[in-house]
């Protein structure tokens, strides 16, 4: 589709979403591929369209990426964006198939790291378990 500057039409509002992000994409016959499309609009917004018929409008690329991550694969997803001009950092995240959260604005990388530590549940335990944790309790590597 041609952009607005090339004589194309302004993007229309997406259809209402029919399936929440926590409904994972069904795999055909117990396997195969699940297909999604990410459409970037000229105004900086994005739309995700999925084979299951759901369609979602996103104000930020990070939100769209976290939606795709939650839709296609479980676990925890985190995205950080920097504008390249010293304007700070924008983060989004999604956990265990849930809805994406964000944008969260950060002035510096220390703030981004603190936010990631909170999101991934690693606050107060600096790598003693090699990044792995069972049942939410910190594992000791000392007596």
116-143: pLDDT as tens digits: 999 999 754 554 333 333 333 333 333 3
Question: Has this prediction a pTM greater than 0.85?
Answer: no
Q: Residue 138's closest CA among 116, 117, 122?
A: 122
pLDDT tens-digit profile of 27-80?
444 556 778 999 999 999 999 998 888 899 999 999 999 999 888 888 999 999
Q: Residues 3, 42: contact at Cβ < 8 Å? A: yes
């Amino acid at each position: 589709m041609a952009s607005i500057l090339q004589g194309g039409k302004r993007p229309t509002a997406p259809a209402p979403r029919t399936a929440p992000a926590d409904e994972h994409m069904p795999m055909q016959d117990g396997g195969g591929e699940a297909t999604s499309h990410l459409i970037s609009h000229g105004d900086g917004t994005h739309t995700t369209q999925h084979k299951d018929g759901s369609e979602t409008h996103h104000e930020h690329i990070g939100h769209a990426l976290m939606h795709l991550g939650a839709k296609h694969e479980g676990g925890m997803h985190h995205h950080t964006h920097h504008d390249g001009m010293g304007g700070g950092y924008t983060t989004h995240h999604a956990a265990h198939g849930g809805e994406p959260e964000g944008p969260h604005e950060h002035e510096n990388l220390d703030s981004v790291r603190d936010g990631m530590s909170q999101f991934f549940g690693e606050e107060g335990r600096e790598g003693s378990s090699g990044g792995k944790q069972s049942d939410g309790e910190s594992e000791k590597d000392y007596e």
